[in-house]
């Protein structure tokens, strides 16, 4: 009831609509620019949500309350959450590369965009001089859902069925694309057994650097009980030049004990 009263008020007083339009239209355009220009993909998604909310309000004041609500639920709700979900999966800090693959593509794109906007806007602006809105009457307010449903299940019933098939195919396609075959992946039990048998590297903790060595410093490998150096006692940063700091007889890699190098990191 209140909805109908509100809608009637919108319909009769063009000034209410004009006020809403002139507030939200610049907001929508600014948010669209924000989406295109923001470096961070998450910011772009949030700007796009703002555009979609503005469009939802436009739908409601343009005799399409059902589409306005669907816009909020489907676009601002589901689709943008999907976008944000994928951004989070791929990595938030993934920003645009600044290297130009095609030289002069950016200025050309901006120029083409401006030309396209002019081509769209000027003819429209010339032809819409006379305000003539037939309006939808009752179908634009409380009867909106009924009117859409009636058309959807009579005239457009075949496209409706085709679209439902399309949705199922899209869902299946996304599942096939997103699915990853886990070939050769070991179970937790197999990994635990191989770890305790020493197949994934030493079972014990790694020796600390400098133990029993000539110098007690972090870049000196520890010495094993038989006097051979343990290369895996030294951090990765010192591995490149490690042979310079070994005793004379161990300068060549072949003479070092098996498994003395850095143990394979856990997968």
Nearest approach, Cβ of residue 266 and another protein (Å): 21
Interacting residue with another protein among 5, 29, 199, 218 (CB under 8 A):
29
Pick out residues in 191-230 that bind another protein (CB under 8 A): none
Nearest approach, Cβ of residue 127 and another protein (Å): 8
Rounded Cα distance, 56 and 66, in Å: 10
Going residue by residue from 227 to 256, which x/- string records binding to another protein, judged by CB under 8 A?
------------------------------
Collapse the DSSP code of 196 into the 3-class scheme (helix H, G, I; strand E, B; otherwise coil) and give the result.
Answer: helix
Rounded Cα distance, 136 and 64, in Å: 9
The number of residues that bind another protein (CB under 8 A) is 88
Using the structure block, give the residue that is written with the tokens 């050769």.
184
Q: Which is nearer to another protein, 170 or 218 (CB)?
A: 170
Pick out residues in 82-111 that bind another protein (CB under 8 A): 82-83, 86-87, 89-90, 94-97, 99, 101, 105-106, 109-110
Nearest approach, Cβ of residue 167 and another protein (Å): 5
Stretch that binds another protein, among 171-179, 203-211, 217-225, 234-242 (CB under 8 A): 171-179
Rounded Cα distance, 234 and 262, in Å: 8
Enumerate long-range contacts of 62-68, CB under 8 Å, 24 or more apart.
63/11, 63/135, 63/136, 63/139, 63/140, 63/141, 63/144, 64/140, 64/144, 65/3, 65/7, 65/140, 65/141, 65/144, 66/144, 66/145, 66/148
**Which secondary structure element, helix H or strand E, spans residue 55, and what is its range?**
helix 41-61
Going residue by residue from 111 to 130, which x/- string records binding to another protein, judged by CB under 8 A?
-xxx-xx--xx--xx-xx--
Interacting residue with another protein among 23, 170, 214, 218 (CB under 8 A):
170
Nearest approach, Cβ of residue 96 and another protein (Å): 5
Pick out residues in 50-89 that bind another protein (CB under 8 A): 51-52, 55, 58-59, 62-64, 66-67, 70-71, 74-75, 78-79, 82-83, 86-87, 89
CB–CB of 217/238 below 8 Å? no
Please spell the DSSP secondary structure of 74-139, one letter per residue. Answer: IIIIIIHHHHHHHHHHH-TT-------SSTTHHHHHHHHHHHHHHHHHHHHHHHT-S------GGG
18 binding another protein? (CB under 8 A):
yes
23 binding another protein? (CB under 8 A):
no
């Amino acid at each position: 009831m209140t909805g109908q009263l509100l809608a009637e008020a919108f319909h009769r007083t063009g000034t209410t609509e004009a006020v809403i339009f002139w507030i939200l239209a610049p907001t929508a355009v600014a948010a669209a620019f924000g989406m295109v220009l923001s470096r961070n993909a998450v910011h772009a998604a949030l700007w796009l949500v703002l555009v979609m909310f503005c469009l939802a309000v436009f739908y409601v004041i343009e005799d399409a309350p059902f589409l306005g609500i669907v816009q909020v639920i489907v676009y601002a709700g589901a689709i943008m959450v999907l976008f944000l979900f994928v951004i989070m999966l791929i990595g938030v800090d993934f920003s645009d590369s600044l290297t130009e693959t095609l030289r002069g593509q950016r200025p050309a794109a901006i120029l083409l965009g401006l030309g396209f906007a002019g081509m769209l806007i000027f003819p429209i602006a010339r032809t819409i001089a006379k305000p003539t809105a037939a309006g939808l009457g009752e179908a634009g307010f409380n009867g909106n859902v009924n009117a859409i449903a009636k058309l959807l299940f009579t005239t457009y019933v075949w496209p409706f069925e085709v679209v439902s098939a399309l949705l199922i195919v899209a869902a299946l396609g996304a599942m096939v694309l997103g699915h990853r075959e886990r070939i050769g992946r070991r179970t937790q039990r197999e990994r635990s057994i191989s770890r305790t048998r020493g197949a994934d590297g030493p079972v014990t903790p790694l020796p600390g650097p400098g133990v029993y060595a000539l110098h007690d410093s972090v870049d000196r490998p520890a010495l094993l009980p038989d006097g051979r150096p343990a290369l895996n006692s030294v951090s990765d940063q010192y591995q490149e030049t490690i042979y310079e700091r070994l005793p004379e007889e161990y300068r060549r890699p072949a003479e070092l004990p098996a498994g003395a190098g850095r143990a394979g990191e856990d997968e």
